[in-house]
Amino acid sequence: MKRVFPILAVLTAALLSYALYGALVAAPTEQTMGDVQRIFYYHVPSAWTAFILFFINFFASVAYLIWRNTKADIVALVTAEVGVIFCTVVLVTGPIWARPVWGIWWTWDLRLTLTLVLWLIYVSYLVLRRFSSSGQTPLLAAVLAVFGALDVPLVYFSIWFFRTQHPQPVVGGGGSIDPRMLHVLLINWAAFSCFAALVCWSRYRLEVLRREVDETLALEALLEPRSSQSRISQTGSAG
């Protein structure tokens, strides 16, 4: 297991570099927006990756609720954390793209707003995990994840209708896409997916180790009084 990781890391780095080259050089320049449009190759794959991670989180949470499987809980935690990271990337690159193109930092664009709401929901998820006492954290977090997942279609429809009543600019350009651009987009998506998978794997191993250490520390605390008591009885008999 451990030997595979560095190889995969190198391969992913290579894929990311190739994808970067595609985004900055190989892809054709967009007509209306110019080179700034190339942000698209980082903005969209990050959004897709984040949504996939949150999707996995939903299934892991449900699995935990049904089977109380610890592995499912760790998968939920990991995908939530890495998902928030990718979400943050979307929310940062979006305004940076919108500013030169439309002159505004923010717009209630469907993808951007949905990403913001998901970001908020999952940050609250992570805060809950950090602030609740360790016994029932996995259970409460799983319940919250289910609530969040139920919310998503409602968020989608509310934003969609809001935009029909209050027209807003669309970040990311709708309509058909040049096949060469699509090619670069998909390569970047593949690269970031591999990257996300590796990060999740690392975080997973870290969490497993963390919990093992915590358990050991807890066990040690339980055993500690006994060893100090035997020391006391020894000095008593000696003195």
Partner 1 sequence: MSTVASLTRATLAKDLRLEWRSKDAINSMLFFSLLVVVIFSFSFDPTAEESRQIAGGLVWVAFLFAAVVALNQTWAREMRNQVLDAYRVSPAPPNALFLAKAAGNFIFVSVLQALMTPLFIVFYNLRALGPTYQLPIVAALGTWALVVNGTFFAAMSLRTRSREIMLPLLLFPISIPAILAMVEATGAILTGEFSAKFWIVLLAAYDVVFTMASLFLFGFVLQAE
Partner 2 sequence: MSYLYAAYVATWAIHIAYLGTLLRRYSRLRSEIEELKSRIKD
Residues that bind partner 2 in the complex, under the rule CB under 8 A: 20, 35-36, 38-39, 42-43, 46, 82, 85, 88-89, 92-93, 96-97, 99-100, 195, 199, 202-203, 206, 209-210, 213, 216-217, 220
Q: Does 158 bind partner 1 (CB under 8 A)?
A: yes
- Residue 70's binding partner among partner 2, partner 1, none (Cβ under 5 to 8 angstroms by kind) is none
Distances (CA, A) of 100 to 11, 46, 169: 34, 20, 13
Nearer to partner 1, 124 or 229 (CB): 124
Taking the alpha carbons at both ends of the chain, their separation in whole angstroms is: 56
- Nearest-Å Rg of the Cα atoms of the chain is 24
What are residue 30's DSSP bridge partners?
34
- Amino acid identity of residue 202, one-letter, is S
How many whole angstroms separate alpha carbon 27 and alpha carbon 29? 7
According to DSSP, residue 103 is labeled: S
Q: Does 107 bind partner 1 (CB under 8 A)?
A: no
Q: Are 151 and 121 in contact (CB under 8 A)?
A: yes
Q: Does 70 bind partner 1 (CB under 8 A)?
A: no
Nearer to partner 2, 72 or 82 (CB): 82
> What residue ranges bind partner 1 (CB under 8 A)?
65, 117, 120-121, 123-124, 127-128, 131-133, 135-136, 139-140, 143-144, 146-148, 150-151, 154-155, 157-159, 161-162, 165
